[in-house]
Amino acid sequence: MVNVTHRSAFRGLSLVLGAALAITGVAVAAPASAAGRPAPPAPSTSSGYGGAVSSVDSEASAVGLEVLRKGGNAVDAAVATASALGVTEPYSAGIGGGGYFVYFDAASGEVTTIDGRETAPATMPLDAFIDPATGQPYPFAAAVSSGLSVGVPGTLATWETALDRFGTESLHDMLKPSILLATRGFRVDETFAQQTAANQPRFAAFPATAELFLPNGAPPVVGSTFRNPDLAKTLRQIAVHGTDVFYEGALADEIAAIAQDPQTDPAATLPAYPGYLTADDLAEYEVLEQDPTHLEYRGLDVYGMAPSSSGGTTVGESLNILENYDLAGEPTPQALHLYLEATAHAFADRNAYVGDPAFVDVPTDTLLSQDFADARACVIDPDAASVKPVAPAPLDAAGCEIAAAADPVDTENISTTHLSVVDQWGNAVSYTLTIEQTGGSGMTVPGRGFLLNNELTDFNFVPNPADPNTVEPGKRPRSSMSPTIVLDGGDVRYVVGSPGGSTIITTVAQVLVNRIDLGMTLSEAVAAPRASQRNTANVSAEQAFLDAYAAELAPYGHTFGPPAEIGAVAAIEVGDDGLMTAVAEPVRRGGGTGLVVDPAP
């Protein structure tokens, strides 16, 4: 089932409106550290009762926790947390991007999803990424930092729809904490400073971006306070007047103008290709409310995001393949070998069959069927790695022949963010949101304080009618975002998700395998070293994984590429007694923060 959700009339107009927003109701002031004062270390893991929130950022998690503490539900807290992440994690998320929202309603027992993925403009041609001068695809790095990469943002429409359908508070109130946070500022940490420095050359090419993120021509110093008054003003206008300010007002014209005619420094060498986004594209944007993907794994019900995301189908197929093996009874290297093989075969099928279902006949039911996964498991040798890349399975797969295939092209980037929330009533949200590349397109809307996404570079650049992820007007590019909710007997057990481009899929699968099969606690499952096999010749792995397992996996035939950090998980577990454990990364991407309303002793 897919329902197109039109942006509704703004619900906050009955409130007293004004340019200055009083902090009332469930809205929460920004944490003390926002003003640059030292703050105590935020825990990456907390256990307790009454509600839980986990994200990559301490300020954002604190915002969500206060919403829960004041009586808001999981959806309210998720929107407030996401908005705060747009302030403190502006290179990963914000109102210039999109994402996928998975919601579990404890009263009805139903899981619903909101597809807020960006879309290609209505006038975007099939050969948009082909250089007419050469007949070849534009270089990826050049296409990213351009108007050509900018899709129609869906984040604000997602927030509005989620609150209207499932929340108890208004968007007006849920934006207040992030308005205050953007005004007061937040402490610059190592991650923010490093990400800015890594993007300095292309940020400097766009004057509006340089003015905001390169004060005095250089990245902000660790320990300084970063303020974004332009973003505070933009969010304040949206809070007062509703999302029409963004999708139909002057701001829509400004977004379209910068995408169509990127403004660069005269000394810049970036080509900054013009894009196709128009104000009409923004006015016509719609989120999709649709059924989740579903499978059973070890007696648990696993729910994820259906296409246009490939997350739900590929995590699902991987787990269904692994259902054939007793991983808990295997030595760790054997279990890891089977995990790597399962994800490689699932990725072959993802690349062949998954795209935007409005344009592609995606065989979702087949990809999630146990029979299909059993046929895939049939070709996996428990003692040897298959030759990569493997071919996709035919949709009527029943045999056990292994075939070679072309090396897949991976156009997704690693920078995204994720949050997980469970409230006192057992409702849960798993929400992954993004602007794609670290820093998105690199283009800030002048005077508005936010970056525009580069999501359209998730399309494969070469036009091909047989490719499910080729460019088409109005199409959503395929994504690997994998917000996941796992139920046990109808109640929430795990809420999981991560950034990381196409490694999101393997990260979510590995965390679930670690927790469910390999006997780790959730905090151990998140902290454990990671490896990602996405049907490529070499396995991507973290240095800690290489140190621990490379030698033991070598006899199976697995080879490894250069070390790389993989993912930044935010997860929650709910025990049989209602004990909630909120878990974020202890180290990756600077560490995250998991908080609970009433901490256990």
Of 88, 158, 416, 581, catalytic: 416
φ, ψ dihedrals at 342, nearest 5°: -65, -45
What's the whole-number average pLDDT of the chain? 92
Tokens of 445: 């809307």
Query: Burial letters for 420-458: b for 16+ Cβ neighbours within 10 Å, e otherwise?
Result: bbbbbebbbbbbbbbbbbbbbbbbbbbebbbbbbbbbbb
Q: 480: annotated binding-site residue?
A: yes
The confidence score (pLDDT) of residue 130 equals: 98
Pairwise CA distance, residues 32 & 59, whole Å: 9
* Residue 406: per-residue pLDDT: 45
Q: Predicted confidence band at 13 (pLDDT cuts at 50, 70, 90)?
A: very low
Cα(441)–Cα(203) distance, rounded to whole angstroms? 9
Q: Give ∠ CA 417-90-84 in degrees, rounded to 5.
A: 75
Kindly report, residue by residue over 569-578, the tens digit of the pLDDT: 999 999 999 9
Q: Could you tell me if residue 204 is inside a domain? A: yes
Helix (H) / strand (E) containing 78: helix 74-88
Q: Report the alpha-carbon distance of residue 320 to residue 202 in Å, rounded.
A: 43
Residue 196 lies in a domain: yes
Query: Band of the pLDDT at 479, cuts 50, 70, 90?
Result: very high
- CB half-sphere exposure, 490, CA atoms < 13 A: 4
Q: What is the DSSP letter of 162?
A: H
Is residue 457 part of the annotated active site? The answer reads no
The tally of CA atoms less than 13 A away on the side-chain side of residue 330 is 19
> Any idea what DSSP says for residue 537?
S
Query: Whole-angstrom Cα distance, residue 474 to residue 456?
Result: 11
What are the start-end ranges of the E strands in 467-530?
484-488, 491-496
Residue 249 lies in a domain: yes
The counts of H helices and E strands in the chain are 21, 18
CB atoms within 10 A of CB 483: 31
The percent of residues above 70 in pLDDT, for the chain, comes to 91
Q: Which of 16-20, 357-361, 525-529, 580-584 has the lowest mean pLDDT?
A: 16-20
Q: In the chain, how many domains are there?
A: 1
Which tokens belong to 484?
């996941």
Residue 417: its H or E element: strand 417-423
In a domain, 104, yes or no: yes
- Is there a domain that residue 188 lies in? yes
Residue 173: domain span? 2-26+70-288+425-458
479 labeled part of a ligand binding site: yes
pLDDT of residue 398: 64
Is residue 429 included in any domain, yes or no? Answer: yes
| For range 188-212, the mean pLDDT | 97
DSSP letter, residue 546 = I
Give per-residue pLDDT as tens, 379-422: 999 999 999 999 999 998 665 654 444 444 444 445 699 999 99
Phi, psi dihedral angles at 363 (to 5 degrees): -85, 60
pLDDT for 23: 31
Indicate whether 483 belongs to any domain: no
Query: What is the structure's pLDDT at 3?
Result: 74
Q: Is the pLDDT of residue 513 over 60?
A: yes
Write the DSSP symbol of residue 539.
B
Whether residue 594 lies inside any domain: the answer is no
Annotated binding residue at 92? no
110 has which bridge partners?
Answer: 105
117 is in an annotated binding site: yes
Nearest C-alpha neighbor of 540 from the set 589, 514, 505, 585: 505
Q: What are phi and psi of 595, to 5 degrees?
A: -130, 150
**What sign does the CA torsion over 399, 312, 292, 512 have?**
positive
Task: State residue 569 phi and psi, 5-degree precision.
Answer: -75, 145
501 is in an annotated binding site: yes
